[in-house]
Amino acid sequence: MSGAASSFAPRPRRHTTWLVEGIGHLYAVVRVQLMWLLLTALGLVVFGISPATCAAADALRAERRGELTRALPLMWESYRRELIPAGLRMLPLMAVQLLALAMLWQAAAGLGSAPVSMAVLGTRGALAAGWATVSLAAIAVAPRVRRQKLLVTWRLALLMPGVVPLRGLALILLLAAWILLCTTVWPLGAVLGAGLAVDAAVALLGTRISLLLEDLGGHDPASAPSRTTTP
């Protein structure tokens, strides 16, 4: 218990420049990325990617609050807790995401032979992929979303792209640009890839979604989360 508690212990605030703070945060992202790779591999990728992503989001939320001192115990605790629940909630949306990307690939390959139908297919694929991406991000970065009952989590996650459209669009564009950069410069992807992607999702969606759910629960007791756990 002492090891887990120390990973959440608030660090003393220091008066530093934005450059020093940025370097410190980037170092935390690198540590989270390395742990994400390890935990994803530990779950044989398919079963490990969902809890590892939730664990990365929890660690980066703690980092932004100034509470992250050691990434390993915090992420391991979150990984064990989310191993089965996160998989049940996120893997179906990941399957939708993969199917949507396959539609985009098919549309790009057949654009020359049937431009109109392939353009329609590509548009549908892009919309489905973007919507699923933001829904997955909502589950990962907002503990209050992922800790609901299964159907409630899916309903909330599927609604979030429409509730925060500008932030969702910004996240999609940032992730698309980041993926393109990481595929071009693969060492960058190995060191920062998923960590920086999750960090962007935390920055854009984490606090906003939590505040929306708190406001919803405060105005309508019937819509309050079924569990008492708060983010």
- The predicted-structure confidence for 105-148, as pLDDT tens digits, reads as follows 999 998 878 889 999 999 999 999 999 999 999 999 999 999 99
Question: In this structure, are residues 48 and 39 in contact, taking their beta carbons and an 8 Å threshold?
Answer: yes
Q: How far is CA 181 from the centre of its chain?
A: 19
Look at residue 231 and give its three-state secondary structure: coil
Rounded Cα distance, 63 and 108, in Å: 40
The per-residue pLDDT for range 73-92, each reduced to its tens digit, is 999 999 999 999 999 999 99
Rg (CA), the chain: 18
CB 4 within 8 A of CB 74: yes
The yes-or-no verdict on residue 222 having pLDDT over 90 is no
Element spanning 116, H or E: helix 115-141
3-state secondary structure 125-136: HHHHHHHHHHHH
Distance CA 191, CA 4 (A): 25
**Separation of alpha carbons 94 and 102, rounded Å:** 12
CA dihedral over 223, 52, 5, 200, signed as positive or negative: negative
Residues 201 and 140 sit within 8 Å (Cβ to Cβ): yes
Question: Reduced to 3 DSSP states, what percent helix, strand and coil does the chain have, rounded to the nearest 5?
Answer: 80, 0, 20
Residue 187: exposure state from Cβ atoms within 10 A (0-12, 13-18, ≥19): exposed
Indicate the DSSP class of residue 164. Answer: S
25-71 per-position pLDDT tens digit: 999 999 999 999 999 999 999 999 999 999 999 999 999 988 877 88
CB atoms within 10 A of CB 8: 15
Give this prediction's pTM.
Answer: 0.86
